[in-house]
Chains A and B, each alone.
Chain A
Amino acid sequence: MSRKVKAIVLTGNGTNCEIEMAHACKLAGADTVDIVHISELLYGEKRLADYSFLNLPGGFLDGDDLGSAKAGANRFLHAPVRNHREMLFEQLLRFINDGKLILGVCNGFQLMVKLGLLPALCGDYSKQSATLTYNDSGRFEDRWVYLQANPQSPCVFTKNLSFMYLPVRHGEGKFVARQSVQNTILRNNLLALQYCDAAGNISLDYPMNPNGSEKAIAGLCNETGRLFGLMPHPEAYLHRTNHPRWTREALPEEGQGVAIFRNAVNFIRSSDF
């Protein structure tokens, strides 16, 4: 009998993609999927330890008022869990150390980067070493982009994936890091997903690279490959009718985004977990 996959989709304070993220987990075969408001964690009513797959969906945590996910990260770091004498962040670190999976999409990715969960070089999850900042265009944009997965990446979410088409919907998606950090990311293949053109060539040019990300980085994992964040929205392409050209192209019924979640579910069921 295979291991049960229990997914938690965290919401509250401005998160807004929790329903489609939960739907993606279900389509991918997760055994239980709970949408949990962060106050339930802070009140100790729910514990991260009871789950194996944490989803951090898109949205605008606290309006992104201090920069994307900044106030949200601050809450994770400094909000105490009632009656448990610990900060939420300590629960999160235990979750990571237990080898469990975290997927952050858009605002969830921004949150992971600002907390230091990604790229978390040398397993240091407590220091922010990169950032996601304002698009070069200076504006929020909703557009579909082509993506190329890195076959050498340890990322469990992009395993066996190559070329994808997903929407981005953000104003702060430009990946920035110091050169030394970028080099380590490349060397360790933490770069899991890159923006490319329709032919699959990695692109630094607008609009293929919609935000001006350095190294065309769209998605990033940590060294274990179990923590993954990306700016594009896989949960927004779960059915072929989500594709902007579904009325003119022959497409499979299932949207490409499901595969990322299925990889996560399969990994948890596998002996590698």
Chain B
Amino acid sequence: MADRIEVAFQKGVRDALGEKIKKRIINNLSLPVQKVNTVEVYTIEGNLTSKELSAAASGPLSDPVIQKFAINKPVAGSFDWLIEVGFRAGVTDNVGKTAREAIELLLSDKSRKISVYTSRQYLIAGKINKSDAEKIAAGLLANDLIEHYSIVSARDFDFVRGIPVYIPRVAVTDNPAVEEINLAAVADDELLQISREKLLALNLEEMKAIQQYFRNKSIIAARKKNGLGEKITDVELECLAQTWSEHCKHKIFSSLITYTEGRRKITIDSLFQSYIKACTAAIRKAKGKKDFCLSVFVDNAGVIKFNDDYNLVFKVETHNSPSALDPYGGALTGIVGVNRDPFGTGMGAKLIFNTDVFCFASPYYRKKLPPRILHPRRIYEGVREGVEHGGNKSGIPTVNGSIVFDDRYLGKPLVYCGTAGIMPSRINGRPSHTKEIKPGDVIIMTGGRIGKDGIHGATFSSEELHEGSPVTAVQIGDPITQKKMTDFLLIARDRGLYRAITDNGAGGLSSSIGEMATACGGCDIDLALAPLKYAGLKPWEILLSEAQERMSLAVAPEKVKTFLALAQKMGVEATVLGKFTASGKFQIRYNKKTVAFLDMEFLHDGVPQLKLTAKWQPAKYQEPDFPEPVNWGAVLSKMLSRLNICSKESVVRQYDHEVQGGSVIKPLTGAANDGPSDAAVIRPLLASMEGVVVAHGICPRYSDIDAYHMTACAIDEAVRNAVAVGADLDHLAGLDNFCWCDPVKSEKTPDGEYKLAQLVRSNMAIYDYATAYGVPLISGKDSMKNDYQIGKTKISIPPSLLFSVIGKIKDVRRAVTMDAKRPQDLVYIIGETREELGGSEWFALHGKVGNCVPRVDAGKAKSIYRALHRAINAGLVASCHDCSDGGLGVALMETAFAGELGMSIDLSFVPYRGRKRNDYVLFSESASRFIVTVAPQDKANFEKIMQGNTLSEIGFISNDNLFRVYGVSGQLIIKEKISKLKEAWQKPLNF
């Protein structure tokens, strides 16, 4: 029998969550509700006595000062509708877990096991009908994929018994059997059918490669010695599908591509090798002794030198597909998932900051939504909350990010999450950035338990979002379990208790142990030893589960006992699963019986190379011909209110960006702490003044014209943002995160050759610009199937490259912020403005694309960045702000209102090439430009340092709180109050 404890606020106590929900119901659903109250419900299994129940209810489960509780009866008072939302079976219930642990502490018999399931009631008062209540439940409160809900009206509610007990226990199938499949004599279409039905996402050639492997006589003979036969087991098939998935193997980036552009035709054998890896190799060679890269592309994250004693580790990931289905869980898992990448790099790093970049459709989207798509507003709020919980609860500051809006992200939102770490360059005498595993080392899994969560995540994200997308692909992260684990592992690391570490992400154990086993040549594990959340998982499910918060380790046999004892003391689960070998085999057992026996070489290198074609045919758009505006006040407000330009303060404030105490340049800056910083600076070592700079660039709109220039602009934006706050160009490393729509030509994707050409061109730009700037790539990731297809509706995202940079500033006291500092300071523009409005916000405001996309002149840019760095180091720069979305105009206004000061500008002094129109000069998005303010006494020195670069003094800072602009022909065209401009900029996303 199970018991229910319901906890509600006492009369007169404000229910802040209820009020927030009420606001959302009114704003998002336009339903007239008067009041929403919330009730927390704990359903407890374990035959607690009434004394124990009341100790639990009055102890950990309620607050005596503000709450009241009821046991096995409803606490609810008056309402019109009651909606109770709880998790579906098997979905991670973090609160339930905490409640269970708390209640177990109260029991005198410490070995007693209980289960706690949580749900929440929303008591709604208001004149709404049943279908409105249904709309609130399904459209706002519950996500049908992971949650169930019940709706009761006051009239039907049983005020004596309340809502009946509901237990979301996973139905146990007592049959963890291994299925064997005969591939040897199967025809091609049947091979494909197997791939489709089992959600393997393998193509015919790949299925045939597997079939071929199982026709090899010597292989079969070896299998027979291990109790297997000619048939492939489901464990092996699933393991191969995961290892060979696009998500894990990056098959498109490794493919053989024939690229045509006009008469030019080239063959590219692997984009990854030819451009990404090649440019890093070239840059490292050119840097010679100044090369600061330590580990690139081989580990979970890239490693560079910070100083002689410490290394920096950085990784950025995407978690798009799960966030489309469950924005909260998807984003939460995204952030705690990427945390484990630097944590599982080398010997493991202490995590020092998070970054996040989201791409969404407009939260004000009004058209009808295609099936299975959540409203963008819901995605926005869910993702934001997921990253908030993931970052804040892990104690990692979220220091940098942005939100990009385009309605083509309706089908798949993009959720980029990054995490950096720091580690001593040597740990116990060994370099910390390398991994070493010896045959005989014991394999230990630590952290969370394994459930059905996240099964097929790797293969699922290798496909477009479709009707049959699996619900088990959704997981909910548990930051506290992970925090406990990382606290434990950092101590274990420093005591030398393990030899190697890696994380369990996509593909679970199959991937983590499979990859680690390459370091010594094999492994032998028994899946029956793995700790499970509930019984009944099949062996392949245990192997593939992407249940979160787990790390896999290689532990020397003599250290195992100490390692396990420390884990137990610190309340972290750790389990021996087997050992690493040199057998050349990936051997998996279940209760000692072998269930998978694959050659390591076949597993990791057996996937056939894809052969693809790419054809570049530049898009042509109608050249816009709208007249120059007259009402400038309205124009400025409209531009500042653009979703891609306006303030993101409401999101930023909800992230802890200062925990760990090293915050130097925060995301919000200026006189009222609300101006938009270009980049973040932190001090990871509190006793030192050395700082880490992090910034990013992303400009997907430009890929409508040419993904080459889109990429060049993204790289330039990232670098110039970092330089703007004081980063040294010579100590800057990059990470590339490609999010593309499916670029493989097929029936579903007739324009695949064009999309692949976009990808090729993007890679070419990476090579060209990373090399030109001397910014090596240290890590990255690609996500290639960001499409939605249900029925005839297909939505593909615009090709979106996020370029992140991490760098160093020698003394953080030299860092510069973007806000205007003092009246009379001079305003300069650095860099040339050209008539480059293709893909700009200004054209987008008119519903146009145009053709003249901004082009980056890397030579000139590099010279500017070096000179500006010298000026900043010399203390000559009062403020520095990069020009990006909305161009010079927006950068000027932001500089002024962040400083709460006025500004007077003369556009005729702007170095400009093109048709002289005030709107073009103000809103062109030419790259490599800054707005800099300089104190009058520093004018001569500043100009001297900047000599040889395009630079012009275009105005001054005033103390009259007015933004004045004289147009290209000398007359005053703009005179607006700073406060009014700021208001327009702050309003759109202030919810």
Interface of A with B (CB < 8 Å)? Answer: 11-17, 19-20, 23, 37, 39, 43, 58-60, 62-67, 70-71, 73-75, 77-79, 114, 128-131, 133-144, 167, 169, 176-178, 212, 233, 235-236, 238-239, 241-242, 244-245, 247-248
Contacts and interface: CB of A to CB of B under 8 A. Distances in A.
Contacts of A133: 13, 16, 63, 66
A149 to B, nearest CB: 22
Contact of B98 (A71, A141, A169, A248): A71
A129 B60 contact: no
Contact of B666 (A11, A15, A66, A244): A244
Nearest to B811: A241
Contact of B17 (A65, A71, A138, A176): A138
Interface string B437-472: 000000000000000000000000000000000000
A129 B659 CA distance: 29
Nearest to B17: A138
A17 B659 contact: yes
Nearest to B21: A138
Contacts of B61: 66, 70
Interface of B: 13-14, 16-17, 19-20, 59-61, 63-66, 94-95, 97-99, 101-102, 105-106, 388, 392-395, 478-480, 483-484, 487, 491, 569-571, 653-664, 666, 668-671, 673, 683, 686-687, 812-813, 815-817, 819, 821, 879, 899
Nearest to A70: B60
Given A74-B102, A79-B105, A176 B66 contact: yes
Nearest to B661: A20
B669 A247 contact: yes
Given A65-B99, A135-B16, A143-B653, A235 B570 contact: no
Contacts of A114: 63
Contacts of A43: 569
A134 B16 contact: yes
B656 A39 contact: no
B246 to A, nearest CB: 34
Contacts of B813: 241
Which 6 A-B pairs give the minimum distances between C-beta atoms? A16-B395, A20-B661, A138-B20, A65-B98, A138-B16, A134-B16
Contacts of B655: 142
A39 B657 contact: no
Contacts of A241: 664, 683, 812-813, 815
Given A139-B654, A142-B654, 11 more contacts: A43-B569, A63-B95, A70-B60, A73-B60, A79-B105, A128-B64, A138-B16, A143-B653, A233-B658, A244-B668, A245-B670
B99 A136 contact: no
A74 B105 contact: yes
A129 B480 CA distance: 28
Contacts of B817: 247-248
Contacts of B17: 134, 138
Contact of A16 (B59, B394, B571, B879): B394
B64 to A, nearest CB: 6
A248 B664 contact: no
A65 B668 contact: no
5 contacts: A23-B687, A37-B491, A65-B97, A79-B105, A144-B673
Contact of A37 (B16, B570, B661): B570
Contacts, number: 184
Given A143-B673, A238-B686, A244-B668, A39 B570 contact: yes
Contacts of A139: 20, 654
Residue from B61, B64, B480, B571 with most neighbouring chain A CB atoms (10 Å): B480
A168 to B, nearest CB: 10
A66 B654 contact: no
A17 B16 contact: no
Given A23-B687, A235-B661, A248 B671 contact: yes
A62 B570 contact: no
Nearest to B107: A78
A12 B13 contact: no
B897 to A, nearest CB: 14
Nearest to B93: A65
A60 B392 contact: yes
A129 B570 contact: no
B483 A16 contact: yes
A4 B815 CA distance: 38
Nearest to A135: B16
A144 to B, nearest CB: 6
B578 to A, nearest CB: 28
B16 A23 contact: no
A16 B686 CA distance: 15
Given A74-B60, A142-B657, A12 B484 contact: yes
Nearest to B14: A136
Given A13-B484, A16-B483, A131-B63, A142 B393 contact: no
Given A37-B487, A66-B102, A241-B813, A236 B388 contact: no
B487 A12 contact: yes
- Dominant secondary structure of chain A at its interface with chain B: mixed
A271 B523 CA distance: 65
Contacts of A235: 661
A62 B654 contact: no
Contacts of B662: 20
Contacts of A58: 659
A77 to B, nearest CB: 8
B711 to A, nearest CB: 32
B37 to A, nearest CB: 13
B71 to A, nearest CB: 16
B658 A236 contact: yes
Contacts of A245: 669-671, 673
Contact of B663 (A177, A212, A242): A242
Nearest to B95: A65
B661 A23 contact: yes
A241 B688 CA distance: 12
Given A169-B659, A241-B813, A66 B653 contact: no
A32 to B, nearest CB: 17
A176 B65 contact: yes
A17 B661 contact: yes
A158 B102 CA distance: 35
Contact of B815 (A78, A144, A176, A247): A247
Contacts of A16: 394-395, 483, 659-660
Contacts of A236: 658-659, 661, 663
A67 B654 contact: no
Given A133-B63, A142-B657, A236-B658, A63 B393 contact: yes
A66 B116 CA distance: 12
Nearest to B64: A128
A71 B104 CA distance: 11
A66 B60 CA distance: 7
B489 to A, nearest CB: 13
A120 B902 CA distance: 52
Nearest to B96: A65
A88 B2 CA distance: 31
A177 B63 CA distance: 12
B59 A74 contact: yes
Nearest to A128: B64
A140 B812 CA distance: 28
Contact of B660 (A11, A19, A135, A141): A19
Contacts of A67: 63
Residue from A13, A64, A142 with most neighbouring chain B CB atoms (10 Å): A142
A20 B663 CA distance: 11
B653 A142 contact: yes
Contacts of B95: 63, 65-66
Residue from A59, A71, A212, A242 with most neighbouring chain B CB atoms (10 Å): A71
A60 B480 contact: yes
B27 to A, nearest CB: 13
A128 B59 CA distance: 11
Contact of A60 (B393, B660, B686): B393
B483 A14 contact: yes
A23 B688 CA distance: 12
A94 to B, nearest CB: 21
